[in-house]
Amino acid sequence: MSAGSLSMAWYGLVSAMFFIYIGASLAQAYGTIDTLIGLSITIVIYGAINRVLAGYALKHSLTVAQFSRTLLGSKGALLATLVFAATAIYYAVFEGAILGYAFQAQFGGPIQLWYALVVLYTIPLIAGGIQRWLDKINGWLLPIYWGGLITAVVWASIAHPNGSAWLTHSAGSLSLVAGGPGWLATCAAFMGVWILMMYTMDFAALGRAKDVKFHQRYTFGWLFYTLAFGVNSLIGIYLTFTIPGAEATETGVAGALVQLMGPLGLLVIFVSQTRINTANYALGIANLREFGERALRLRLPSLAWVGIGALIIYLLMLLPVVKYLLLALSWQGALVTGWVAIALVHIFVQERRGGIVPDGSLPDSAFPALNRAGVAAWVISAVAGITLIQSGSAWGSNIGSLATPILAALIYAALIRVSQARIGDSTAKLVKH
């Protein structure tokens, strides 16, 4: 894809209603100032990591599934593909449920009907392939999204003048034992969205190596996360503390927009969720197909996989999946952050030592079934992280999210160093012999 087309396709993710909701939710829990400090740190971290991952994927045209064969082995990579597919599908369910709720808030009727409508209208948008539609859809809808949010802010400030109450909200000082400080808890919460690192690689693999600098600077870097996390969160915090009765819940912000602006608010939500869900559907179904073909040997037409993915999404929407968003984020964070840490260590070591990067078109037989270093680092760090998250302590979730990538990086670095040392000893013995 050209630089402009890939950039527009990627910027569809900037408009997730989740980013508006999570900023407001964290501000209610930890105070606005602490949340903004945590957001600033998060934006810096995301921009730095995705600069590395995007550059690597652009230079070598490697998706997560292809790169994971090097990190985890041909069989181990299937786990990464499954985690990616499940997480992207989960987000499709969440974002679709919000749109279904907004339709119901405006028009009434059974929620199951609106869920079905949301799934059915999304299918044609992604059935033609990510490269054909995503940049055009997101380019057309981007001005409507930002224009609608700015209108909502102005409308709310006129209809419900509330001064600076949204900025001065404080939850008091929280110790580490109680789940604080607030800025650290905010950083930990956003680590549950490190799946965007995987999204980055799959999108960047569609780009051209000559556009690396442009994409690192403008597409996948700090500018994107300033808009996605920073601006969206500020708008969510402002609307939640300004509109009477607005709640920082999974569907509360959407309900507040419909309550405030009626059909115009519904249009903003429709545009927002259409933009983000084209990406969620496309990546979720693509990785579901990758897993099905490689693990289950299912060779089906592309349209069949779209239908299977859409059916799974609809059935999950009928379950109370949305209620478990924060718990799901914690678990996903423990799984995905470990993969990201291993990927960064591998890229650093490879660039330092040089060597040939395996081509994405190579068959699975060109890789070992399991890369013990990668699999061990990922499994051990994920188990440790999830154990801390499920410990029941207020600090467990934050520490679990922060400790997982550090532990994964240390284990992987140590194991590949031991592996290289053994190879060196074996080579020396052969030469001596």
Give the pLDDT of the chain (433 residues) as one tens digit per residue: 899 889 988 988 888 888 888 899 899 889 999 999 999 999 999 999 999 999 999 999 999 999 999 999 999 999 999 989 988 998 899 889 889 988 998 899 999 999 999 999 988 888 765 556 566 777 777 888 889 889 999 998 898 887 777 888 887 777 776 677 889 989 988 988 899 999 999 999 999 999 999 999 999 999 999 999 999 999 999 988 888 877 766 677 788 888 888 888 889 889 888 888 888 998 999 999 999 998 888 889 988 999 999 999 999 999 876 667 667 767 877 889 999 999 999 999 988 887 778 878 888 888 999 999 999 999 999 999 989 888 877 777 778 888 899 999 999 999 988 876 554 443 344 345 4
SS3 92: helix
At residue 401, what is the residue type? S
- Residue 215 per-residue DSSP state: I
Is the bond leading into 110 cis (omega within 30 degrees of zero)? no
Looking at residue 276, the DSSP 8-state letter turns out to be: H
Whose structure tokens read 């299937």? 78
Q: CB neighbours (10 Å) of residue 311?
A: 11
Amino acid at 301: P
Q: Which residue has the tokens 């810096």?
A: 44
pLDDT of residue 332: 78
pTM for the whole structure: 0.86
Only one residue has tokens 């699975």, namely 364
The whole-number pLDDT of residue 433 equals: 45
Other Cβ atoms less than 10 A from the Cβ of 424: the count is 10
Q: How far apart are CA 319 and CA 341, in angstroms?
A: 32
Q: What is the CATH number of domain 3-326?
A: 1.10.4160.10
The answer to whether 126 and 279 have CB atoms below 8 angstroms apart is no
Integer Cα distance of 405 and 37 in angstroms: 21
Residue with tokens 């994927």: 57
357 burial level (CB within 10 Å; 0-12, 13-18, 19+): middle
DSSP notation for 216-253: IIIISSHHHHIIIIIIHHHHHHHHHHHSTT---STTHH
Determine whether 63 is exposed, middle or buried from the number of CB atoms within 10 Å of its CB (0-12, 13-18, 19+).
Answer: buried
The first and second tokens of residue 328, run together, are: 């799901």
Separation CA 426–CA 62 (nearest Å):
31
Q: How many Cβ atoms sit within 10 Å of the Cβ of residue 361?
A: 8
CA distance 100 to 49: 34
C-alpha 19/C-alpha 1 separation (Å) is: 27
CA distances for 433 relative to 269, 428, 429, angstroms: 71, 9, 6
Q: Which of 144, 166, 161, 153 is nearest to 261 (CA)?
A: 153
Q: Which pLDDT belongs to residue 219? A: 93
Q: What is the chain's Cα-based Rg?
A: 22
Would you tell me how many other CB atoms lie within 10 Å of the CB of residue 234? 21
Say how far apart CA 235 and CA 223 lie, in whole Å: 17
- Closest by CA to 32, choosing from 194, 162, 196, is 162
Integer CA distances (angstroms), 353 to 32, 50, 269, 349, 424, in order = 45, 22, 48, 6, 14
